[in-house]
A and B are shown apart, each in its own frame.
Chain A
Amino acid sequence: MRERTTSRTSWVVLHIAIILGALAMFFPFLWTFVTSITPGAGFSITPQLWPENPSFEAYATLFTERPFGRVVLNSLMLAVITTLVQLFTSATAAYAFSRLPFRGRGIVFAVYLATMMVPLQVLVVPLFAELKAFGLLNTYLGALLPTFASAFGIFLLRQAINQVPRELDEAATLDGAGHFRIFFSIVLPNIKPALATLTIFAFMGSWNSFLWPLIVLRDPELQTLPIALAGLQGQYTTAWDVVMAGSVVSILPMLALYIFAQKYIIQGVASSGLK
């Protein structure tokens, strides 16, 4: 009897704690949105949970007085290209490391993995100089090139390809299929979940990336969302509604993606800590 009561009490306490915690986690999102629809936010002394005259004026300011439409398109374009290219370069490399034995493969793979541990900061100055020499500063290509290969993606997909039974390849080989056929019609369809996971991570990484785009893309026209957002903060120090509207615009696409792909995102993170 006693055991039952304690467990029921702890059940209630646990639920209350989890719900209160979740509210605390969610509150900044709610607050961002509320501020974005409060005209003249930043001047009021006491924050209010709901504005007296809610309006979407700040969003209008963002898209008419600022190049925000352009900036959103820039971010979207860079994220889509990065994702597609990374999927291609990761899948092909992963196939080579899983299915194409060649001399020195182990060493090459180790070098690939080692690139994952090099912090971007070490590369910033020479990368800047390199792209300057190529005449690629202030170009989309300059922002894109360093994102084209991802050791993380290659590793993830190689793990997945190793799980695909080799009997399938052998059967296809007997039918006269070469490596390109096997790659496209056997391996790729069999690693769809891993491809989905990489798609999300590549997109998320590009959409949220800051340091490299900040350095390469100096023209306001070319800038990406996080940079425009940081700039917005500097210029509208008092108009928090506009700044918060910008934050909402930057968060919404990730939020939508997250709701659709929560399973893959959480699995992807979880599996990175396992094994």
Chain B
Amino acid sequence: MSVSTLQTSLVDRAPVAPVSAPVRPRKKRGWRYGLTVAAFLLPSAVPLLLFVLVPMVAAAWISLNDWNLITPMQFVGIDNFVQLLNDPATASVFGNTLYYILGYLPLVYVGGLLLALGLNRTLKGRAFWRGIYFLPVVTSWIAVAIVWRWLLNPSNGVVNTVLGWVGIDGPGWWTEPAWSMPSIILASAWKDLGFVMVILLAGLQAINPELYDAAKVDGANAWQRFRSVTLPMLSPSTFFVVVISLINGFQVFDQVYAMTGGGPAGSSQVVVQQIYDLTFRYGAAGEAAALSWMLFAVILAVTVVQIIGQKRWVHYA
């Protein structure tokens, strides 16, 4: 999972000007000051302009055209969007992406929470254990996907071998349509568990211990303290995990590409894999651009809804 400061950025206010600013006369800053500002800003502004803002606008234009990346574009208006909306594959790839998110998020959150609670106690070698749990986060998705493909190998993988010892006939994991998505979800949860754990640990450590003492005085048992102190106080961290997981979840790709390639029979084809295939396999770059804008719109809508909805359940101390 990539690190983002999304929440922070949303909470952050615009930079506050120094108190002395109004007194400082503007005319004193001449062209030399302008040059200084430009010198500090241009190294980042040029790449962002050329490789984020321009392509962003260009994507909107491409989505209104028929294009195979080679021959000239042909303007078709909103045809690509109409075509996507009429194509059952669109519903299928969004459905699979949603399936991924709905399987992954509860798993990684509950797992990460249990870990954070456990590792927040006084424990021998706490930093070492945290280190182990965090290890998968720093490894590449491709390596993780390959290893899990191997562990979940239906014929002689470790998982099915161990299941065989206890008399369970393990499923065909990534070779069976019904199990391809669960395989990807399992590997993803394993990889991101440590990330969620660290975010929640930071949240737990920010809780004022006096709140627990007060709850104890009121006769609250461990479960009640968890319900009425830990969970509400942890809600900002939870909010962050949910927002980031949803944003990343909609963009799931690397692990799908390396574990199943979208198969079998399209059972794990997700939106980004579809964008990739449309562009580079079917030569439908216009349609791919349209689909990528649809994805962006969905992510934006989901994120905005969460930011609006957070007032109902997120408590900032």
Contact = CB atoms under 8 A, between A and B. Distances in A.
Contact of B40 (A14, A100, A156): A100
Contacts of A113: 9
Interface string A78-122: 000000000011101101111011100110111111011111111
Contacts of B137: 269
B105 interface: no
B113 interface: no
Given A25-B190, A125-B285, A270-B201, A250 B140 contact: yes
Contacts of B279: 124-125, 128
A266 B55 contact: no
Interface string A176-212: 0011100100000000000000000100110110110
A145 B51 contact: yes
Given A28-B190, A247-B143, A95 B40 contact: yes
A229 B56 CA distance: 30
Contact of B288 (A119, A125, A233): A125
Contact of B5 (A42, A88, A152, A183): A152
For A108, A111, A180, A270, which residue has the most chain B Cβ atoms within 10 angstroms? A270
Interface in A219-243: 225-227, 229-230, 233, 240, 243
Interface residues of A, number: 106
B56 A118 contact: yes
B292 A47 contact: no
B258 A233 contact: yes
Contacts of A21: 115, 133
A148 B47 contact: yes
Interface string B52-69: 111110110010000001
Interface of A, helix, strand, loop or mixed by DSSP: helix
Given A125-B289, A244-B150, A272-B8, A146 B138 contact: no
B129 A22 contact: yes
A104 to B, nearest CB: 11
Contact of A126 (B7, B59, B123): B59
Interface string B241-253: 1000001001101
A243 B147 CA distance: 9
B112 to A, nearest CB: 11
18 contacts: A14-B123, A31-B151, A32-B147, A35-B150, A92-B44, A96-B40, A98-B15, A101-B21, A113-B9, A119-B247, A124-B279, A126-B56, A152-B4, A152-B5, A155-B5, A211-B272, A243-B146, A272-B240
Interface of A: 14-15, 17-19, 21-22, 25-26, 28-29, 31-32, 35, 42, 44-47, 88-90, 92-93, 95-98, 100-102, 105-106, 108-113, 115-130, 132, 145-146, 148-149, 151-152, 154-156, 166, 178-180, 183, 201, 204-205, 207-208, 210-211, 215, 225-227, 229-230, 233, 240, 243-244, 246-247, 250-251, 254-255, 257-258, 262, 265-266, 268-275
Interface of B: 2-9, 11-12, 14-15, 17-18, 21, 34, 36-37, 39-41, 43-48, 50-56, 58-59, 62, 69, 115, 118-119, 121, 123-124, 127, 129-144, 146-151, 156-158, 161, 190, 193-195, 198-199, 201-203, 206, 237, 240-241, 247, 250-251, 253-254, 257-258, 271-272, 275-276, 279-280, 285, 288-289, 292-293, 295-296, 299-300, 303
Which 8 interchain pairs have the tightest Cβ spacing?
A126-B58, A270-B202, A126-B55, A106-B14, A208-B140, A273-B199, A93-B44, A96-B40
